[in-house]
Chain A
Amino acid sequence: MYAFELERPKTLDAAKAALAGDEAQALGGGQTLIPTLKARLASPAKLVSLAAVEGMSGVKAEGDQLVIGGATTHAIVAAEAALTYPGLADLASHIGDPAVRNRGTIGGSLANNDPSACYPAAVLASGATIVTDRRQIAADAFFDGMFTTVLDEGEIITEVRFPVPQAGAYAKFVQPASRFALTGVFVARFSEGVRVAVTGASEEGVFRWTEAETALSGNFAPEAVDGLSVSPDGMIGDLHGTPAYRANLVKVMTKRAVAAAS
């Protein structure tokens, strides 16, 4: 690692001020950023830890929404969202391993937008809103391709607001070495219709499978997607699976997610 200063502000205003300078970067749980620093793929002059910022960690219900602070760890979401949004808590409880879940945060996961990460699927399928220190961003407008989001330099995810669906579940085909999703699908059924978001499959990162959404909005059952097929064009191909393998997994995991949700 190159040398840097580490600051631990206690308020959002202090965090914003600390991040305003050039070459300052937010530190969430460090579960992605610390390995990146070790590999010298990033060289910030200053890291601003969000862990101690007041009011940025926790899970609360507000009306029909579940509001999760940007610095909330996966372990806290797994424990505290279990009654209000079981599908989301289940997703959080299967990220990585217990030590990763005790440090890694929802804000860090979304800002990083790893094409195989779990949370982006939940956020997109739920139609959640990402709240930052300067604006509110709809999930449909937030993700911008692999490892890219619309966040500006120094912008802080302060909370994520999830509309709670009537039924919602995540099915993940685990890549056993990394424990990320080889392909994962989150389905969420609302009175207005069903949303289906896929992670781990596309070279563009997380995406909505709209044909399945239409089919499942008519009939929320695994067999509703039987007649559909997913094109392997643009799917990730690597030593873990070919594009065609992943395209098939999209359908298989969608069926499993629907079965788990219904």
Chain B
Amino acid sequence: MSNVTMKVNGKPVSGDVEGRTLLVDFLRGPLGLTGTHVGCDTSQCGACVVHVNGEAVKACAMFALEAEGAEVRTIEGMAEADGSLGTIQAAFQEHHGLQCGFCTPGMVMSAAALLKDNPKPSEAEIREYLEGNICRCTGYHNIVKAILAASGQDVPAIAAE
């Protein structure tokens, strides 16, 4: 066991972990932050995406010890200070960007990473950026609409093909 210390959603945290403890297991276990989901555990689905030092990473494909000293942000850190939904979360609600909601934490974290680098992405750029986030329910159109809306752009009628 080794001790690891990091900041999660602005709060300093520490705990004892094994070398093999994944970041996602540290977040969901000892920290109780179960908003970050494990969909596949094989690096394919993106349900576990969190930000480490501002960058989107798959928390199922990084060890907790590798986040020593890092600033980690999870879906729990996306709400406003008063507990109301953040801009991207509210847009997902408004535009029906979720159904079962399993992929949603990863989708929202990926969307936030995209908008940080590219505040007004095109529809094609959004779809390309979400390459590593799989949703089995929505068919993606409403997720794309939600992200366009969250970036303050007009939401075109994207029809199901």
Interface residues of A, Cβ cutoff 8 Å to B: 1-6, 8, 30-31, 34-35, 37-38, 47, 49, 51, 75, 96-100, 102-103, 179
Which B122-138 residues sit within 8 Å CB-CB of chain A? Answer: 129, 131-133
Query: Looking at the complex, which one of A6, A38, A100, A103 makes contact with B19 (CB distance below 8 Å)?
Result: A6
> B49 within 8 Å of A by Cβ?
yes
Which residues on A sit within 8 Å (CB–CB) of B18?
3
- Contact present for A98 and B129 (CB under 8 Å): yes
- Contact present for B46 and A97 (CB under 8 Å): yes
A-B contact count (CB 8 A): 73
- Contact present for B63 and A99 (CB under 8 Å): no
> B71 within 8 Å of A by Cβ?
no
Instruction: Write the nearest CB–CB distance from A132 to chain B, whole angstroms.
Output: 23
**Chain A residue with Cβ nearest B117:** A98
- Contact present for A98 and B113 (CB under 8 Å): yes
- Contact present for A99 and B49 (CB under 8 Å): yes
> B148 within 8 Å of A by Cβ?
no
Question: What are the nearest 6 A-B pairs in CB distance?
Answer: A97-B132, A6-B19, A97-B131, A102-B55, A1-B20, A99-B58
Query: Looking at the complex, which one of B20, B60, B68, B110 makes contact with A98 (CB distance below 8 Å)?
Result: B110
- Contact present for B58 and A100 (CB under 8 Å): yes
- Contact present for B62 and A8 (CB under 8 Å): no
Which residues on B sit within 8 Å (CB–CB) of A102?
55-57
Instruction: Write the nearest CB–CB distance from B29 to chain A, whole angstroms.
Output: 15
- Contact present for B61 and A96 (CB under 8 Å): no
What's the Cα separation between A218 and B144 when bound, in Å? 47
Which residues on A sit within 8 Å (CB–CB) of B56?
98-99, 102
What's the Cα separation between A5 and B2 when bound, in Å? 9
> B65 within 8 Å of A by Cβ?
yes
- Contact present for B46 and A103 (CB under 8 Å): no
Instruction: Write the nearest CB–CB distance from B14 to chain A, whole angstroms.
Output: 16
What's the Cα separation between A255 and B133 when bound, in Å? 31
- Contact present for B19 and A47 (CB under 8 Å): yes
- Contact present for B41 and A38 (CB under 8 Å): yes
Which residues on B sit within 8 Å (CB–CB) of A179?
131-132
- Contact present for A99 and B66 (CB under 8 Å): no
> B93 within 8 Å of A by Cβ?
no
**Chain A residue with Cβ nearest B63:** A6
- Between B18, B60, B63, B110, the greatest number of chain A beta carbons within 10 A of the residue's beta carbon is seen for B63
Q: What are 13 pairs between A and B in contact, CB < 8 Å?
A: A1-B20, A2-B20, A3-B18, A4-B19, A5-B19, A34-B43, A35-B42, A35-B43, A38-B42, A98-B110, A102-B56, A102-B57, A179-B132
Which residues on B sit within 8 Å (CB–CB) of A37?
20
**Chain A residue with Cβ nearest B65:** A6
Which residues on A sit within 8 Å (CB–CB) of B19?
3-6, 47
**Chain A residue with Cβ nearest B114:** A98
Which residues on A sit within 8 Å (CB–CB) of B114?
98
What's the Cα separation between A6 and B2 when bound, in Å? 9
Which residues on A sit within 8 Å (CB–CB) of B63?
6, 30, 34, 49
Which B9-68 residues sit within 8 Å CB-CB of chain A? Answer: 18-20, 22, 41-43, 46, 49, 55-58, 60-63, 65-66, 68
- Contact present for B132 and A96 (CB under 8 Å): yes
Query: Looking at the complex, which one of B42, B55, B62 makes contact with A30 (CB distance below 8 Å)?
Result: B62
- Contact present for A3 and B132 (CB under 8 Å): no
- Contact present for A4 and B55 (CB under 8 Å): no
Which residues on B sit within 8 Å (CB–CB) of A49?
63, 66
- Contact present for A8 and B55 (CB under 8 Å): no
Which residues on A sit within 8 Å (CB–CB) of B22?
34
Instruction: Write the nearest CB–CB distance from A1 to chain B, whole angstroms.
Output: 4
